[in-house]
A and B are shown apart, each in its own frame.
Chain A
Amino acid sequence: MSTSTEPEAKGSAAAEPAAPADRVGSGTRLAMILLQGRTLIVLVALVIMFSLISSDYLTTSNLLLMSKHVSITALLAIGVTFVILTGGIDLSVGSISGLAGMISGGLLYEGLKLPGGDTVWFSTVMVIVIGILIGAAVGAINGLLVTKLKVAPFIATLGVLYAARGLADLRSKGGTFPNLAGTPARHNTGFNVLGGKSWIGVPVAIWIMIVVAALAIIVTTRTPFGRRVYAVGGNERAAELAGIRTSRIKIAVYIISGACAALAGLILTSELGAAYPDTATTYELNAIAAAVLGGTALAGGKGSIIGTLVGAFVIGFLSDGLVLVGVSSFWQLVVKGTVIVLAVVLEQTQERVKTRMTT
């Protein structure tokens, strides 16, 4: 028995724990397909249901408006998905949105006051870049807390949630920057483009969401970095042993999450035309819910950006639909919670069907 591979073939067939998919009956397979697209089905069902209740739901202008609202949740959720894919969690994104909005809003409203009494003004583009960099820097703190100081991600980002919100408050001593229009002489006009303008009939916020989502899809599916993100979340020890610098990957995903959150905060601030410290409070929960709805496993290693996008659309289209048909805000919360839990129950069902198919 020194050479032949036959015994191996026999042995492996006998020991095969999982059957190839082609042995499975077509009925079960159909069930699988339906379950895999479950979030999309929920989304379609929502659209059909609301358009039956209200003729104003399925109109171009309402779909664009709802998508614009979705873009905020989607940007936050895309960033959070990177973190969850590595097996972490980021609770600080809402606060990062608020902080970035306040920093950028402050720079537009009153400039940067130097200790000497001078005031420095930045151009609109610089203001946006600074806002995003602030988000990335706070994300980097999350990442370093998790990797270098070995703080559990839940705790690290919970701490940053409070600290970043506090910094946002400190920026204006609690107040609002009411006017972000800027003045032409300082080259800081036009901030309202992010949240208030449209390009070929589609709000800029939606374009931003499309671009960020496309980049995120390419990064997760077509780059070594994306593959490593999945590997770290799937099995951190194995990833480490395969030569992946897992700490670097983790720091990077928190930076991505922070930058996405900052971008969302800037859009919110731009749309409102005012920056106030409470912006995006508790939005992190929407973002995590969107990722989970989209099939991202909180344990890491499983999920996709597209799934998260669909999840964000479900949450956004549901919330706006309930407002449109005039449901009270208390019931809105009940319905939202129920849909999230139902979607996760469906996920469990899918896992069970999968197990049944493969054993």
Chain B
Amino acid sequence: MRRFPSHRPIIGLTVVTVAAALGLTACGSSKSSSGSGTSAGGSKLIVIVTPSPDNVFFKAEQQAADAEAKRLGYTTLVLSHDDDPTKQSQAIDTAISRKAAAIILDNAGADSTVTALQKAGNAKIPSFLIDREINSTGVAKAQIVSNNSQGATLGAQEFAKDMGQSGEYFELTGKETDTNAGVRSKGYHSVLDQFPKMKMVAQQSANWDQTEALQKVQTMLQAHPNVKGIIAGNDTMALGAWAALQAAKKTNVIVTGFDGSPDVVSSVLKDGIKATVLQPAAKISQMAVDQADKYIKTGSTGQPEKQSVDCVLVNKDNAAKVSNFALGS
């Protein structure tokens, strides 16, 4: 039993570890940034709420919205809900208490979001949804999404073409509770099931996760060493699958992803992953902010509530022109 427990070592060690972890970063960063304007008025504040920026896609949509809002002279508050409806609701509460002029939201659940948005509506704060729809209309001023179904069709067509319309393939699906995972898988099969010689020999969910995709593909390869292609529900899983193929020295297997993330695009350029489907995340974010700006100034967006933006196929032909979820000209 120590007589006089000293707390000094723990404080010291904590400081050292935190410093070591952070100090190894270039510089401290703050995701929430106020622009030049004063936030006291509140009417010039746009609150941007997205899932965790761990995923480059969400990070891109977040940054594009942030940049566009600042370009139009707004201050911004950027929050993340990590796909947790409770956290999302808290973020909306924050927006209400800060008297935001508008909310840009990539929501955490098609059903669970409606109530939170009604709360914002009651506080006379307009909401503009990006990337994912909700199961209700009239609650948000706009719901701008990429056309997942059209994108999946594009990706599947390219995948079938690369496969020569025959052979065994795996499918990696996303989190089975996520609407987009289902829409994309359905879109893939609407194309692939038309080719009688193409055979799906294994289908597993890798929960959008890179490591899980890696390990599951490794195991699936044990049972099906002659697989010719892997079609993945998003790009992180495609990257995990590609790492498994590289380890197994099976880089001739055709891999197709979805999202158009920079890592996959650069892999496409290097003859790794064959193709991905670019979701115009940056474009959608800009559209949402522009419409929010118009709504604040005129009381109307001038557009229907539901808008869908077509996805673009990215393969070796156009990959060089893609940067940060946008296709240059």
Physical contact A–B (CB less than 8 Å): yes
Do the beta carbons of B207 and A171 come within 8 Å of each other?
no
Chain B positions 4 through 26: 1 when the CB is less than 8 Å from some CB of chain A, otherwise 0: 01110110011011101111111
Number of interface residues of B (CB under 8 A): 54
- B71 contacts chain A at the CB level, 8 A cutoff: no
Main secondary structure of the interface of B (DSSP, over half): helix
- B72 contacts chain A at the CB level, 8 A cutoff: no
Q: Report chain B residues within 8 Å CB of A190.
A: none
- A234 contacts chain B at the CB level, 8 A cutoff: no
Number of interface residues of A (CB under 8 A): 58
Closest to A177 in B: B263
- B247 contacts chain A at the CB level, 8 A cutoff: yes
Do the beta carbons of A171 and B210 come within 8 Å of each other?
no
Q: Give the distance in Å from the alpha carbon of A61 to the alpha carbon of B219 in the complex.
A: 10
Q: Which of A134, A176, A323, A329 contacts B219 (CB 8 A)?
A: A323
Q: Report chain B residues within 8 Å CB of A325.
A: 223
Q: Give the distance in Å from the alpha carbon of A353 to the alpha carbon of B46 in the complex.
A: 67
- The A-contacting residues of B in range 244-263, CB under 8 angstroms, are 246-247, 262-263
Q: Which of B9, B18, B26 contacts A144 (CB 8 A)?
A: B9
Q: Report chain B residues within 8 Å CB of A144.
A: 9-10, 13
Do the beta carbons of B5 and A148 come within 8 Å of each other?
yes
- A339 contacts chain B at the CB level, 8 A cutoff: no
B323 nearest CB across to chain A (Å): 15
Do the beta carbons of A271 and B243 come within 8 Å of each other?
yes
Q: Report chain B residues within 8 Å CB of A134.
A: 17, 20-21
- A326 contacts chain B at the CB level, 8 A cutoff: yes
- B209 contacts chain A at the CB level, 8 A cutoff: yes
- B109 contacts chain A at the CB level, 8 A cutoff: no
Q: Report chain A residues within 8 Å CB of B31.
A: 173
Main secondary structure of the interface of A (DSSP, over half): helix
Q: Report chain B residues within 8 Å CB of A176.
A: 56, 210, 263
- The B-contacting residues of A in range 98-127, CB under 8 angstroms, are 99, 103, 106-107, 110, 112-113, 115
Q: Report chain B residues within 8 Å CB of A145.
A: 10
- B291 contacts chain A at the CB level, 8 A cutoff: no
B116 nearest CB across to chain A (Å): 23
- B29 contacts chain A at the CB level, 8 A cutoff: yes
Do the beta carbons of A247 and B2 come within 8 Å of each other?
yes
- A199 contacts chain B at the CB level, 8 A cutoff: no
Q: Give the distance in Å from the alpha carbon of A176 to the alpha carbon of B222 in the complex.
A: 28
Q: Report chain B residues within 8 Å CB of A140.
A: 13
Do the beta carbons of A278 and B54 come within 8 Å of each other?
yes
In this complex, the member of B18, B23, B24, B243 whose beta carbon has the largest number of chain A beta carbons within 10 angstroms is B24
- B233 contacts chain A at the CB level, 8 A cutoff: no
Do the beta carbons of B222 and A137 come within 8 Å of each other?
no
B240 nearest CB across to chain A (Å): 7
Q: Which of B2, B6, B204, B243 contacts A323 (CB 8 A)?
A: B204
Q: Report chain A residues within 8 Å CB of B210.
A: 176, 272, 274, 276
- The A-contacting residues of B in range 22-36, CB under 8 angstroms, are 22-27, 29, 31
- A34 contacts chain B at the CB level, 8 A cutoff: no
A residues contacting B by CB (< 8 A) are: 54, 56-57, 59, 61-62, 65-66, 69, 99, 103, 106-107, 110, 112-113, 115, 134, 137-138, 140-141, 144-145, 148-149, 167-176, 178, 196, 240, 247, 268, 271-274, 276-280, 320, 323-326, 328-330
Q: Given A137-B20, A272-B211, 6 other A-B contacts at CB below 8 A?
A: A145-B10, A171-B25, A175-B56, A176-B263, A178-B266, A324-B223
Between-chain CB contacts (< 8 Å), 10 pairs: A59-B222, A65-B219, A69-B218, A170-B22, A178-B263, A196-B247, A271-B214, A271-B243, A273-B243, A276-B54
